[in-house]
């Protein structure tokens, strides 16, 4: 099958979340992505979420977090602190169409791998830097995490309970978002290169790529001088809107009613035609008495199953969606039918469902996303010998000198590291950060089998 | 002016609201000619405000401006056969069509992908909907709140005892599902179940990979994001809060203990932060390479020195709104121009665009008087 980026090669120096999402999307649509990691600086997410919570042996090759964003890539270990490794990177540049990196701005220049240097080696190279705050400006050298960039982008200022403090989402939200934006920027640059033969440099600030998400709040201040307030799950435009408690332990449903017809439909479906008229009978009343309306709606939803209520209300033409927990997301019939999860057979892990990173389906091709993540250094020989022609002796010497390898070098001894990668899950459950712990989760997911027992 | 990356690309944009129009706004910033085809009453986002002085006006909406900068506007009633005839003329010169109708609506107008592919084999036809074109929820009504609910993102956002929180945000057919677009925002939620059998729950929106703290705390003049980071602990954090003796405190040494006894850790941290100003904390933390971050809002974003030096907000001149700052493009490109411009007035380019595909002035008058444009 032909894919849009067949024949395009990416040197991927990016780590953690945003950059790897960008290059993962390019990989899914056909690019050959070679991920570079240092033996002393492997991608830190190789430490996150172990199968069966077991950090044994080469745990860095089995992390679930790493699989999501690095499936389908090749792994080459080259440590930039070694001048010989930098020279090898430079020798790889002529074979690359795209170079992606996500360090703070000083790093690439320090190693002589900035855009001007790469351009001197390969004039039409496209380089993208995904950094926290961009390559210029007073905050350029700030170290940045997605957990900080979401509040810095203005999104948290309009997220939160009414009257409460600003709130983050429960993930590093700006990371995947700027990764997707970055993939779009690279595709535009490739389009331009096809037309003109010219490469270029893309300076993506993860901070700036996320600010447009807060566009309404910014324009409200610009046009009215008012500072937008946090309004919980309510809407600027529609009432009632909220997330209402349903039957059971921690079940909820999100409901939005946009107009009189939908309100009528809601009241009929809920069996409360008496709410249709009177003070809630028109748009103004529903805005004005939103608090009381929430009480009434909750009194109904509390008796309902959240999934059944979603179907009941949707059938009546009302926007309603069950709040799914991560397990329910994996089991969801719609997502399953749409193929939103690839079943990936990860060596030494077994088959696991992995959320597709590219939320689009294409009529002309199927993205090549169902591939395992590479083991650390798995493609050292393929790349260094196959592409650069290094001899067996040279490879052996590089391995001897720890320039390349398949085992991370770190200050933290491996047995200590294992303590960190194994989560105290029962404590988490007592704390309430974990809502449930299913010993039989593999049966539930339908992935049980010998494949899962390959782990040593 | 230098060439733009997508200067050779023409997009017919039938999408309304937020998701589709932001897609085409990005294409327009990159230099594509985006012709926004609106119903005669306009994209419904023109009604959504915010408006100067809170007086609604279809050409003065702030959200509309934000989402539709750099586009052209043509009005066309696609419910009518005559309107669809005009659209087909526009499609003959187009590379991309973007639409956001509920599945089936375009086909009912004889404008579905299958109905157009023979006549316009070059056309990339992109549909942006809440849940996609297929599957059991395809006919569901949806918005971003619903997509966040079904994606699992909402379940892990907010306080554990409160309700979950949403966040306020050769041709072929591309079927984009807002729900599945959040697949890449599944940081490690489904993975935690697929690898451990553990169901992650919201816990003050805290990361459960124990990078605690990585959250917003109050300080003297506002808020600050306190992030320990991979290398910030323990010495640097102790130095930052001017208590180097805490370096040997188990809460500073052991990340699991800190995560599990977070209330004890906050007893140390909060009183100190309450006496500090955010900019000072941010500067000092970053000097120690601890990745603290600011909590910015609409005003402080617009006043931010870093963004100003980067030229992130651009001032545009709008005939109805005057000079207005808007968020410009989200990345910079060294060789190709990114455009800064305003949103179009309703139907502003009808005359120009219809003229280009051969409609004489008198024909345009007929179309206008019959309510087709």
Calculate how close chain B gets to A391, using CA atoms only, in Å: 37
User: Does B127 have pLDDT greater than 50?
Assistant: yes
Query: 3-state class of B19 per DSSP?
Result: helix
Residues in A closer than 8 angstroms to B3, CB to CB, are 192, 196
pLDDT recorded at residue B168: 47
A70 CB-near residues (< 8 Å, 6+ apart): A20, A24, A35, A43, A373, A374
Q: Does domain B10-129+336-369 have CATH number 3.40.50.10540?
A: yes
Q: Would you call B208 and A428 a contact, using CB atoms and an 8 Å cutoff? A: yes
Task: Suggest the residue from B18, B53, B59, B163 to mutate for an interface test with chain A (most A CBs closer than 10 A).
Answer: B163
The answer to whether residues B255 and A412 touch, using CB atoms and an 8 Å cutoff, is no
Task: Suggest the residue from B125, B169, B236 to mutate for an interface test with chain A (most A CBs closer than 10 A).
Answer: B169
Q: Would you call A356 and B225 a contact, using CB atoms and an 8 Å cutoff? A: no
Which of these ranges, A208-212, B14-18, B125-129, B203-207, has the smallest mean pLDDT? Answer: B203-207
Calculate how close chain B gets to A171, using CA atoms only, in Å: 6
Please state the separation of Cα B34 from the chain's center in Å.
18
Spatial distance between the Cα atoms of A265 and A317, rounded to a whole number of angstroms = 7
pLDDT tier for residue B208 given thresholds of 50, 70 and 90: confident
Largest CA distance in chain B: 85
Consecutive H or E run containing A36: strand A32-37
Residues in A closer than 8 angstroms to B202, CB to CB, are 170
Spatial distance between the Cα atoms of A169 and A177, rounded to a whole number of angstroms = 13
Mean pLDDT value across residues B267-296: 95
Closest CA to B29 of B327, B339, B341: B339
Calculate how close chain B gets to A389, using CA atoms only, in Å: 33
Residues in A closer than 8 angstroms to B205, CB to CB, are 167-170
Q: Would you call B8 and A195 a contact, using CB atoms and an 8 Å cutoff? A: yes
- Please give the order of strands across the beta sheet that includes B293-294: B214-219, B222-227, B293-294
pLDDT recorded at residue A452: 46
Residues of A marked active site are found at: 175
CATH of A251-324, one of 3.30.70.1450, 1.10.10.1590, 3.50.50.60, 3.30.1540.10: 3.30.1540.10
Spatial distance between the Cα atoms of A77 and A75, rounded to a whole number of angstroms = 7
For B26-61, give the DSSP string: HHHHTT-EEEEEE-TT--GGGGS---GGG---TT--
Residues spanned by CATH 3.30.1540.10 within chain A? 251-324
Residues in A closer than 8 angstroms to B336, CB to CB, are 188-189, 192, 200
ipTM of this complex: 0.94
Task: Suggest the residue from B17, B29, B48, B199 to mutate for an interface test with chain A (most A CBs closer than 10 A).
Answer: B199
Residues in A closer than 8 angstroms to B180, CB to CB, are 335, 338, 340, 356, 359-360
Calculate how close chain A gets to B192, using CA atoms only, in Å: 7
pLDDT tier for residue B169 given thresholds of 50, 70 and 90: very low
pLDDT recorded at residue A231: 93
Q: Would you call B5 and A155 a contact, using CB atoms and an 8 Å cutoff? A: no
User: Does B244 have pLDDT greater than 80?
Assistant: yes
Q: How many CB atoms lie within 10 A of CB A93?
A: 18
Among the partner-chain residues A65, A138, A423, the one whose CB lies closest to the CB of B191 is: A65
By the 10 Å C-beta count (0-12 exposed, 13-18 middle, 19+ buried), A54 is classed as middle
Residues spanned by CATH 3.40.50.10540 within chain A? 9-211+336-445
Q: Would you call A147 and B211 a contact, using CB atoms and an 8 Å cutoff? A: yes
Rounded to the nearest 5°, which phi and psi values hold at B277?
-95, 145
pLDDT recorded at residue A437: 95
Topology given in CATH for the domain delimited by A9-211+336-445: Rossmann fold (3.40.50)
Q: How many CB pairs under 8 A join A and B?
A: 514
CATH of domain B214-300: 3.30.1540.10
Among the partner-chain residues A175, A256, A326, the one whose CB lies closest to the CB of B192 is: A326
Read off the tokens for A399.
Answer: 């391995």
pLDDT recorded at residue B1: 60
Q: Would you call B335 and A68 a contact, using CB atoms and an 8 Å cutoff? A: no
Query: 3-state class of A436 per DSSP?
Result: strand
A187 CB-near residues (< 8 Å, 6+ apart): none
Query: 3-state class of A419 per DSSP?
Result: helix
Residues spanned by CATH 3.30.1540.10 within chain B? 214-300
Q: Would you call A201 and B48 a contact, using CB atoms and an 8 Å cutoff? A: no
Task: Suggest the residue from A326, A362, A369, A440 to mutate for an interface test with chain B (most B CBs closer than 10 A).
Answer: A326
Read off the tokens for A192.
Answer: 């331009």
For B53-104, give the DSSP string: GG---TT--HHHHHHHTTEEEEE--TTSHHHHHHHHHHHTT-SEEEE-PPTT
User: Does B262 have pLDDT greater than 60?
Assistant: yes
pLDDT recorded at residue B166: 67
Residues spanned by CATH 3.40.50.10540 within chain B? 10-129+336-369
**Model pTM above 0.90:** yes
Please state the separation of Cα A417 from the chain's center in Å.
25
A72 CB-near residues (< 8 Å, 6+ apart): A24, A27, A28, A33, A368, A369, A371, A372, A373
Read off the tokens for A406.
Answer: 């398949």
pLDDT recorded at residue A64: 95
Among the partner-chain residues B62, B137, B183, the one whose CB lies closest to the CB of A222 is: B62
Spatial distance between the Cα atoms of B202 and B200, rounded to a whole number of angstroms = 7
**Residues A402, A404, A405, A406: is their CA dihedral positive or negative?**
positive
User: Does B111 have pLDDT greater than 80?
Assistant: yes
Q: Would you call B148 and A340 a contact, using CB atoms and an 8 Å cutoff? A: no
B330 CB-near residues (< 8 Å, 6+ apart): A178, A181, A204, A205, A208, A209, A210, A211, A212, B26
pLDDT, one tens digit for every residue, chain A (456 residues): 789 999 999 999 999 999 999 999 999 999 999 999 999 889 999 989 999 998 888 999 999 999 999 999 999 999 888 899 999 999 999 999 999 999 999 999 999 999 999 999 999 999 999 999 999 999 999 999 999 999 999 999 999 999 999 999 988 999 999 999 999 999 999 999 999 999 999 999 999 999 999 999 999 999 999 999 999 999 999 999 999 999 998 999 999 999 999 999 999 999 999 999 889 999 999 999 999 999 999 999 999 999 999 999 999 999 999 999 999 999 999 999 999 999 999 999 999 999 999 999 999 999 999 999 999 999 999 999 999 999 999 999 999 999 999 999 877 777 778 878 888 999 999 999 999 999 999 999 998 754 444 333
Among the partner-chain residues A167, A182, A236, the one whose CB lies closest to the CB of B165 is: A167
Please state the separation of Cα A221 from the chain's center in Å.
30
Q: Would you call B66 and A216 a contact, using CB atoms and an 8 Å cutoff? A: yes
Q: Which residue in chain A has the smallest CA separation from B163?
A: A243
Q: Would you call A142 and B291 a contact, using CB atoms and an 8 Å cutoff? A: yes
Q: Would you call A441 and B312 a contact, using CB atoms and an 8 Å cutoff? A: no
> How, if at all, do strands A98-101 and A241-245 pair?
unpaired
Mean pLDDT value across residues B350-371: 95
């Amino acid at each position: 099958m032909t894919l849009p980026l067949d024949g395009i090669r990416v040197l991927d120096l990016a780590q953690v979340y945003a950059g790897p999402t960008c290059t993962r999307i390019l990989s899914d649509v056909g690019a050959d992505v070679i991920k570079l990691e240092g033996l002393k600086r492997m991608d830190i997410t190789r430490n996150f979420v172990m199968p069966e919570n077991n950090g044994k042996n080469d745990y860095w090759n089995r992390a679930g977090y790493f699989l999501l964003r690095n499936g389908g890539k090749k792994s080459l270990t080259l440590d930039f602190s070694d001048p010989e490794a930098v020279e090898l990177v430079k020798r790889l540049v002529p074979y690359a169409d795209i170079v992606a990196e996500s360090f703070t701005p000083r790093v690439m220049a320090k190693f002589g791998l900035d855009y001007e240097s790469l351009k001197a080696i390969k004039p039409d190279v496209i380089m993208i830097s995904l950094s926290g705050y961009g390559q210029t400006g007073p905050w350029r050298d700030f170290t940045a995490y997605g957990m900080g960039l979401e509040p810095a982008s203005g999104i948290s200022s309009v997220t939160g309970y009414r009257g409460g403090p600003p709130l983050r989402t429960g993930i590093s939200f700006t990371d995947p978002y700027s990764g997707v934006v970055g993939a779009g920027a690279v595709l535009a640059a490739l389009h331009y290169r096809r037309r003109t033969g010219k490469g270029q440099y893309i300076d993506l600030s993860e901070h700036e790529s996320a600010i447009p998400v807060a566009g309404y709040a910014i324009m409200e201040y610009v046009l009215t001088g008012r500072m937008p307030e946090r309004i919980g799950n309510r809407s600027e435009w529609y009432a009632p809107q909220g997330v209402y408690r349903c039957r059971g332990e921690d079940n909820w449903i999100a409901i939005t009613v946009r107009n009189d017809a939908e309100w009528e439909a809601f009241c009929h479906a809920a069996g409360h035609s008496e709410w249709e008229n009177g003070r809630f009978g028109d748009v103004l009343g529903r805005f004005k008495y939103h608090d009381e309306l929430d009480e009434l709606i909750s009194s109904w939803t509390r008796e309902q199953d959240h999934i059944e209520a979603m179907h009941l209300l949707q059938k009546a033409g009302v926007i309603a969606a069950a709040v799914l927990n991560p397990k329910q997301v994996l089991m969801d019939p719609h997502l399953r039918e749409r193929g939103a999860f690839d079943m990936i057979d990860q060596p030494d892990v077994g088959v696991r469902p992995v959320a597709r990173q590219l939320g689009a389906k294409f009529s002309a091709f199927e993205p090549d996303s169902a591939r395992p993540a590479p083991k650390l250094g798995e493609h050292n020989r393929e790349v260094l010998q196959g592409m650069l022609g290094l001899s067996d002796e040279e490879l052996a010497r590089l391995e001897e000198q720890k320039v390349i390898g398949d085992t991370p070098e770190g200050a933290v001894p491996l047995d200590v590291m294992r303590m960190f990668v194994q989560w105290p899950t029962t404590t988490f459950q007592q704390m309430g950060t974990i809502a449930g712990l299913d010993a039989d989760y593999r049966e539930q997911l339908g992935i049980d089998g010998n494949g899962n027992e390959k782990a040593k | 002016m230098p060439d733009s990356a997508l200067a050779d690309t023409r997009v017919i944009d039938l999408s309304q609201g937020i998701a589709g129009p932001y897609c085409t706004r990005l294409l327009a910033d990159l230099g594509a000619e985006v012709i926004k085809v609106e119903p005669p009453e306009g994209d419904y986002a023109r009604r959504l405000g915010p408006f100067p002085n809170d007086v609604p006006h279809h050409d003065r909406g702030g959200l509309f401006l934000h989402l539709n900068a750099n586009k052209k506007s043509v009005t066309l009633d696609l419910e009518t056969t005559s309107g669809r005839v005009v659209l087909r003329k526009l499609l003959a010169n187009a590379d991309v069509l973007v639409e956001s109708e509920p599945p089936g609506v375009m086909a009912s107008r004889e404008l579905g992908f299958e109905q157009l592919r023979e006549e316009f084999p070059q056309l990339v036809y992109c549909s942006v909907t809440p849940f996609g074109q297929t599957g059991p929820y395809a006919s569901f009504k949806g918005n971003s709140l619903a997509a966040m609910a079904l994606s699992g993102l909402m379940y892990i956002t907010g306080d554990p005892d409160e309700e979950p929180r949403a966040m306020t945000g050769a041709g072929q057919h591309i079927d984009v599902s807002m729900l599945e677009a959040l697949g890449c925002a599944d940081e490690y939620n489904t993975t935690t179940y697929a690898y451990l059998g553990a169901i992650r729950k919201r816990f003050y929106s805290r990361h459960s990979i124990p990078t605690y703290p990585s959250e917003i705390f109050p300080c003297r003049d506002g808020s600050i994001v306190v992030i320990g980071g991979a290398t910030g602990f323990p010495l640097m954090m102790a130095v930052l809060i001017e208590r180097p003796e805490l370096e040997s405190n188990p809460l500073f040494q052991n990340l699991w203990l800190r995560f599990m006894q977070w209330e004890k850790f906050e007893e140390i941290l909060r009183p100190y932060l309450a006496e500090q100003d955010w900019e000072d904390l941010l500067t000092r933390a970053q000097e120690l390479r601890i990745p603290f971050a600011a909590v910015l809002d609409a005003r402080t974003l617009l006043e931010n020195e870093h963004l100003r030096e980067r030229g992130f907000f651009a001032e545009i001149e709008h005939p109805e709104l005057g000079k207005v700052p808007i968020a410009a493009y989200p990345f910079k490109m060294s060789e190709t121009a990114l455009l800064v411009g305003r949103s179009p007035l309703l139907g502003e380019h009808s005359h120009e665009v219809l003229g280009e595909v051969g409609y004489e002035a008198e024909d345009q008058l007929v179309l206008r008087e019959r309510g087709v444009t």
